[in-house]
Amino acid sequence: MKPFLSFAVLILIGLPLLALSHASESPAPISGPPATIADIGAGSAAGRPLSLTSGFGPDSEVLLPVVINTPGLNGTFFKTDGFFANFRNVNQEVLVRFIPAGVSGSGQPPLRASLSALTNATAVDLLGPESLLSRTGVGAFLITAVLPGTNTADTSAQLLALFRIWTPQPGSAGTTSFGAWGPPSDNIHGFNGAIALGLRQNAAFRTNVGLVNLDPINTRSWTVTILSSGTPTSFPIALAPLSMQLVAVPTTISPSQNGYLSVTFVPFATPGTDFRWSAFGVTADNVTGDSWLSLATQSATLPVNISND
């Protein structure tokens, strides 16, 4: 019994995440100096070699690649809940930026907030009227850790994020939802492509693909390719600085036997160019609204002969 107790003590000492408390309220807004475009650029500078991507563990800057506060089809209304954790034993100041769909968010000032030490917090209805950043429509959230009272990126921060997008189920008292981890902001960066798997489109399902441009200064462009059973369908997407976009998969694609498809995202960029971006796909059931999200994953090479049958 004694060796077991010693082992348990070592685990508790070595894993501060076990001491995390939970707060039901959103992170508290605080005052501080306004952030400039230069600050955004410094906070979003790629921190990993082009050959590497990050995992989904705690990081100093995390992204919710899609957040929604808008009505949908068939009587649905989609809202977003956010979940955030600070794994350090100090209060963590963060800058929270809303990245709008279709237009640049570079000129929009971020909100400064604080996450208590060793605490995780829940932000219900993240874009609602009583939220940190009240917005309607579709966008993304960028959360950047900063040193206290400054706009200097705090690279020692240990932030974790997750989001749930949900809607009341029409005709019932329940809800339907989808969610995913909020990846580190440099989870995808540079000129290599990325791929999202497990999406679906046919008479029963519809799919939107999403891109987020985290470059605060430059417009960036991508080629998006839908891989199904027929000839691949490609189209370009250009995004203003610090903006995002959702685009419906064309109804003209040749669906596979089961409707499943994959999507590749390849940026127009000179080899060696580095900037942060994110990509994903969202599929919804046309009848129930049941949905799922597939975050794109980056690799040095992309498979081209994918069978979705």
Q: How confident is the model at residue 162 (pLDDT cuts 50, 70, 90)?
A: very high
Which one has a higher pLDDT value, 175 or 309?
Answer: 175
Look up tokens 């940026």; give the residue: 267
pLDDT per residue over 251-265, tens digit each? 888 777 788 999 999
- pLDDT at position 18 over 50: no
Closest CA to 97 of 276, 221, 268: 276
Token representation of residue 113: 């907030």
pLDDT per residue over 199-212, tens digit each? 999 989 999 999 99
Say how many CA atoms lie within 13 Å of 267 toward its Cβ. Answer: 30
From CA 196, how far away is CA 183, in angstroms rounded? 14
Domains of the chain, earliest start first? 20-40+57-182 (2.60.290.11), 188-298 (2.60.290.11)
Q: How confident is the model at residue 15 (pLDDT cuts 50, 70, 90)?
A: very low
pLDDT per residue over 294-308, tens digit each? 999 987 566 555 555
Which one has a higher pLDDT value, 37 or 80?
Answer: 80
Closest CA to 77 of 245, 281, 289: 289
Proportion of the chain in helix, strand, coil states, percent, rounded to 5: 10, 45, 45
Sheet with 233-239, edge to edge strand ranges: 233-239, 220-227, 260-267, 194-200, 297-298
Q: How confident is the model at residue 17 (pLDDT cuts 50, 70, 90)?
A: very low
| Predicted structure pTM score | 0.83
Q: How confident is the model at residue 49 (pLDDT cuts 50, 70, 90)?
A: low
2 phi/psi in degrees, rounded to 5: -60, -45
pLDDT per residue over 72-99, tens digit each? 777 788 999 999 999 999 999 999 999 9
pLDDT for the residue 114: 94
Show Cβ contacts of residue 195 under 8 Å, excluding neighbours closer than 6 positions. 262, 263, 264, 265, 296, 297, 299, 302, 303
Among 44-48, 94-98, 162-166, 287-291, whose mean pLDDT is lowest?
44-48
Token representation of residue 99: 């990245």
